[in-house]
Each structure stands twice: as C-alpha cells, then as structure tokens.
Amino acid sequence: SQKIEQNSEALNIQEGKTATLTCNYTNYSPAYLQWYRQDPGRGPVFLLLIRENEKEKRKERLKVTFDTTLKQSLFHITASQPADSATYLCAFNQAGTALIFGKGTTLSVSS
Amino acid sequence: GAVVSQHPSRVICKSGTSVKIECRSLDFQATTMFWYRQFPKQSLMLMATSNEGSKATYEQGVEKDKFLINHASLTLSTLTVTSAHPEDSSFYICSASTQGEGRSDEQYFGPGTRLTVT
C-alpha cells in the first residue's frame, strides 16, 4: 500500500541554522508533493507544492526538493527562527485526489 | 492564499446526539472538498471525498450512514456526525482544492473543528 514517512518525529535546532526535514514515499508515483505547517489545535497551512517534473521550489526562506528516483522530498528552512517552531507535514497526491499525509515532524527552534 | 472556513470551531455534545460541521470556501469555488479526521499525535486521515452535486466517496472503514456528507454548492460542504459516541471525539478538518474540473493543485484547509462527545 501507499506509504509516506517523515524520518523524524522531532527536530531541535538553534536559531539561525537551517532545518532540513525529510519525507520518503513508497508504492506510489505522486504527481504532487506538498508541505504544510500545523500548529497545535489548528488546521494545516499550505506552504509549498512541487510537481513530479520539478526538482526544486523556493519561497522566501523555504526550499523544497523532489527526487523521484530516491522517492524523497527534502524541506529546508534557512535562517530558522523560534516562530518557525511547529509540526511540518508532507503529503502527496495525484490530480483531483485527496492528500496522503505523513505523520509530521515537530520542529523546535531555540533562541 | 485561498481561505477555507469551518464552523463551529469547537463543539461538545452528549452521546447519541448529532452534530453538523460546515466547511466553506470563502473566495473560490471548490468542486471537490475533502474531510479528514485527526486523533492526538496522529496524522490526518482521509474520511471522504465530497463532490458538488453528487454522493460522497468514503474511505474504507468510514461508515457513510454515520458520517453524512452534503456538498450542496460550490462553496459549502457539510459533515454530520449522527448518533455521536465518545470514540467519535476528534479533530475534524476539511480541505478544498483551488482547481476545478477534477484537478487539484494546492489544497487549502479549514481551521478544524474539535468535537468532544461526553
């Protein structure tokens, strides 16, 4: 069955460093891979979407890569700040279908 | 980005009663909306896919007679939890796609509804 894994439940880094989160998938060839931020008691907030034919996408301090050979996406937050502390979810889907989510990585940025 | 609202944000009900949750896309039309459920420290699990004007498609293990979904317009989908029990207590979240014609690119989520059944 389709499976998506985020390699760390928790990641602790210092302010100013780059946070790198990993998402791996198996038994699937997604058309889209998306990253979301979720704060406690809130719905996920869309961050970035990358398509299967794209290698990299950037938005301000965020960067996402998509390697269909490795079946992996990396999510980077550069110059991290305490306000970046949250749970980050990766998810994939095909056009018109629901998202399949990973369990999330909780990032803590200390000052 | 696109805005999706949910109402209510929190609801506490007694066992055996029914609860309706509304999901609205505020600044775009969504032919497809999705309903998810999230238990503590778990990821979002898809319950059903709601298409405007047609019956919802439910995931395996989700009872369609218990979780009634109505997608009456391009901006509104409702989820009714009928005869709620304590095990239905969860965080219910809807999402809507910004693309029509069955395509989905970015999906935007509502803020979620915390249901507690006593």
Strands A19-26 and B32-38: unpaired
* More confident site: B52 or B15: B15
Tell me how far apart the alpha carbons of residues B92 and A10 are, in angstroms, rounded to a whole number. 24
Q: How many residues does chain A have?
A: 111
How far does the CA of residue A70 sit from the closest CA of chain B (Å)?
Answer: 23
> Is residue B110 within 8 angstroms of chain A, CB to CB?
yes
**Closest CA in chain A for residue B90:** A41
Reading the block at residue A58, the tokens are 């950037």
Buried b / exposed e over B62-77, threshold 16 CB at 10 Å, is beeeebbbebeebbbb
What is the overall mean pLDDT for chain B?
89
Picking from B46, B111, B114, the nearest residue to A98 by CB comes out as B46
> Is residue B67 within 8 angstroms of chain A, CB to CB?
no
Task: Identify all chain A residues contacting B46, using CB atoms and an 8 Å cutoff.
Answer: 98-100
Could you tell me if B92 and B21 are in contact, meaning their C-beta atoms sit under 8 angstroms apart? yes
Summarised one tens digit per residue, pLDDT across range A7-65 is: 888 999 999 999 999 999 988 888 899 999 999 999 999 999 999 899 999 999 999 99
Indicate whether B105 pLDDT > 80.
no
Interface mutation vs chain A, best among B4, B107, B114, most A CBs within 10 Å:
B107
